[in-house]
Chains A and B, each alone.
Chain A
């Protein structure tokens, strides 16, 4: 009973704090709407797979909100069905890279000495390798037809910048007197990292997560677009890729087919980035505890 109440009041506080920033809150609402449409939409809107030769490359209309493609199929239904995979892969990637970055970044800052040098050494090496070409090359060797695998793959390579940022945050927090007091009280490294440091970095971690999410969307779409990952399902990246390879950019009529997935991606990214403004408020420990 207490825990449910706790969760509800936590949610309430979060929403109230988020609403303090208008733009951020709109971003939050849009992100939620996109997620809802992409996750629940497919249950209501069937994917249009029938070829209708009389309806090729139609502009948006009441019947086809986003127009039709080269086989006269409804683009809107493809957009609705094509978001889930993109977002899933990005979320897996962002989760993994945030987890790696936060854990090792904090440990690196707190342990110092050899541990710090080692972690930072590895980080710097990975940071200096250009990400996208490496991914492209690796994609040639690893068969990435599993979505989770693709997400993990993206995540495992995208943490270094975040780790450096988390480490510098932790370094400055480490100098705060309450951390020194915890050391004087001999409360142990686990307590210091997870009770003293991490809660004070929540804003930072959450925002980093959303940024990692947007980055993973772009990388993923890029890989798909270049045809480096064989993803069979219809997703926004595949839609662009197909439109591209079938020469959609050369016909004015085909504009809707290539623009709609691009717009969907742009709208999603914009919503998430704008939402971070509100997340900054919602996870600020000062504001949070004032509630």
Chain B
């Protein structure tokens, strides 16, 4: 199947001159229709910047984004508008993603009318109610006249999803979409997103720093791990979680606190050589992870940037030194 979205050597820099920061450094990946991909990494790894470039909210400095096989920069006006509507984004903070001065009705009606998704305001009202039902905000007639602050964090996030659905998107970038929602209701939002994926053929790029959530949401999909602007490893979720090959992925997985006392006790502790993440302003040469990596080979890792190469267990790993070696995460 042809990928719905593909990025090639996608790069984004911020700032000028000596202050230039490369937030995303020539990354390439492709997402098939219906696939669920999680983009995982710590703060400053470039995952959100990537998401915003994919959603057309930020221009790439170099490289290209192909949507349904076509470079989005070469689309004519009409096709570009269609692409912008086809790709939607759900933000992290439901307290800042909804305009506090508008009611839920106003928030959801504006895009419907603007893009002529409905004929008149009566039809818009009906559609808004329908959308609220779709995102499990019931009874919808109770919610429609409320202002965002009258809803809980989880309910607001559902409104944000409903808003994205007004334009019938085919691809949704969910940027930390549940990390600010109370733990007890996170799962219900993820379940709803998974349902939308099935019912409306929406493909998700799920961006998160939380590996446990990534594992749960993309159990049948793929995880891509980023570190300081580059992809260090990707692969099918179940392989990547149980048999990570890149030393950074291993370090990350071993570091994640476990919500289970027995697992917490039996987790392998991987000692890094340095605890601090280098600054994007002074990236180390070669593999950016080498100053912290326990397997660093002098003369190799600190000289050449490792290529992201396929591994036979599935996916790609940017570490020629360790890509053949499995490490158990529990001891």
Which residues does A use to contact B, with CB under 8 Å?
176-178, 180-188, 191, 195-196, 199-200, 202, 285-286, 288-290
Contacts and interface: CB of A to CB of B under 8 A. Distances in A.
B99 A183 contact: no
B115 A186 contact: yes
A186 B89 CA distance: 12
Contacts of A176: 96
B101 A199 contact: yes
Contacts of B121: none
B244 to A, nearest CB: 32
Contacts of A181: 89, 91, 97, 160, 163-164
B57 interface: yes
B84 interface: yes
B149 A177 contact: no
14 contacts: A177-B97, A180-B89, A181-B160, A184-B55, A184-B56, A185-B110, A185-B163, A186-B84, A186-B85, A187-B111, A195-B99, A196-B99, A200-B100, A288-B101
Contacts of B110: 182, 185, 187, 191, 195
Contact of B99 (A188, A199, A288, A290): A199
Interface of B: 55-57, 81, 84-85, 87-89, 91-93, 96-102, 110-111, 114-115, 147, 149-150, 160, 163-164, 166-167
A68 B56 CA distance: 72
Nearest to A199: B101
A181 B88 CA distance: 8
A200 B85 contact: no
Contacts of A188: 114
A183 B91 CA distance: 13
Among B56, B147, B160, the most chain A Cβ lie within 10 Å of the Cβ of: B147
A177 B93 contact: yes
Contact of A184 (B84, B96, B100, B102): B84
Nearest to A179: B99
Contacts, number: 74
A236 to B, nearest CB: 38
Nearest to A175: B96
A199 B87 CA distance: 27
Contacts of B99: 178, 195-196, 199-200
A178 B97 contact: yes
B149 A286 contact: yes
A172 to B, nearest CB: 11
Nearest to B97: A177
Contacts of A199: 99, 101-102
Contacts of B56: 184
A142 B27 CA distance: 64
B57 A180 contact: yes
Contacts of B100: 200, 285-286, 289
Contacts of B115: 186
B91 A185 contact: no
Contacts of A288: 101
Given A180-B57, A195-B110, A186 B97 contact: no
Among A181, A183, A199, A286, the most chain B Cβ lie within 10 Å of the Cβ of: A181
Nearest to B111: A185
Contacts of A186: 81, 84-85, 114-115, 167
A177 B92 CA distance: 9
Contacts of A289: 100-101, 147, 149-150
Contacts of A187: 110-111, 114
Contacts of B163: 181, 185
Contact of A178 (B81, B98, B150, B167): B98
B90 to A, nearest CB: 9
Contacts of B91: 177, 180-181
A191 B110 CA distance: 9
Contacts of B166: 185
Nearest to A180: B57
B265 to A, nearest CB: 39
B91 to A, nearest CB: 4
A191 B115 CA distance: 13
Nearest to B110: A187
Contact of B88 (A184, A191, A195): A184
A290 B64 CA distance: 45
A286 B88 CA distance: 27
B167 A183 contact: no
Contacts of A196: 99
B167 to A, nearest CB: 6
Contacts of B167: 185-186
B303 to A, nearest CB: 39
Contacts of B89: 180-181, 184
A109 B188 CA distance: 39
A156 B55 CA distance: 42
Among A191, A196, A289, A290, the most chain B Cβ lie within 10 Å of the Cβ of: A289
Given A186-B167, A289-B100, 11 more contacts: A177-B91, A178-B97, A178-B98, A182-B110, A183-B57, A184-B84, A185-B167, A195-B102, A195-B110, A285-B100, A290-B147
A200 B84 contact: no
Contacts of A185: 85, 88, 110-111, 114, 163-164, 166-167
Contacts of B111: 185, 187
A181 B166 CA distance: 12
